[in-house]
Amino acid sequence: MSRYVAKVVRVPGSGCAWWTGAVSGRGHGRFWFADGRVIVAHRFAFGLAHGVQRLEAVRVLGHRCDNPLCQRVGPGHVVASSAAENRREWVVRRELSGSPLGDPRGARRRARELRDMARRDPGAVAADLERLRRFCGEQLPLW
C-alpha cells in the first residue's frame, strides 16, 4: 500500500487526489503489484476504501470529476457506475465549454502532461486550475 500512496499527491485548489505513476492509453493510472499484475489505479483506491469483495462486484467506476488521474473515492470523484451511465455522462459533459473531456490532446496526452506537472510542482497544476476558473467564470471539474 505504501508504494501506491507514494504515487498520489494533493493539488491545492483541487478536490482530487492526483495519480503521478504510470498512465494507460485512456489516461487512467496503472499500478503494478509486486507479483507483476497490473490494476487500474483508481480501482485499487476503490478496493482500499471498500474492500476487495465490493471491488469485484463493481465492473465500472466513473470519474464524476472528469479527471482520469483522480484517486479520491467518493461522491463527486470516483464512484461505482455502469458502462451505460459512464458513457452517457461522458457524451453530455464532453460538449460543455471548458470540459477536459473535449481536450484535443486526447485523454492519454492530457493525463500524462497533467501527471508530469503534478510530479514536478502540484502548485503549477493549482495555478492552471485557477486560471481556467477565471477564464470560464465557473468552477470546472478538472482544470
In a domain, 142, yes or no: no
In a domain, 100, yes or no: yes
- Domain ranges, residue 57: 2-133
Say how far residue 128 (Cα) sits from the centre of its chain: 16
Average pLDDT for residues 105-115, to the nearest whole number? 88
In a domain, 95, yes or no: yes
Q: How many CB atoms lie under 10 A from the CB of residue 88? A: 12
What's the pLDDT at 88?
92
In a domain, 8, yes or no: yes
Strands in the chain per DSSP E: 8-10, 17-19, 22-23, 29-32, 38-40, 60-63, 78-81
In a domain, 139, yes or no: no
Is the pLDDT at 15 greater than 80, yes or no? yes
In the chain, the number of structural domains is 1
What's the pLDDT at 14?
86
What's the pLDDT at 134?
59
**pLDDT tens sequence across 20-68:** 999 998 899 999 988 999 999 999 999 999 999 999 999 999 999 888 9
What's the pLDDT at 143?
44
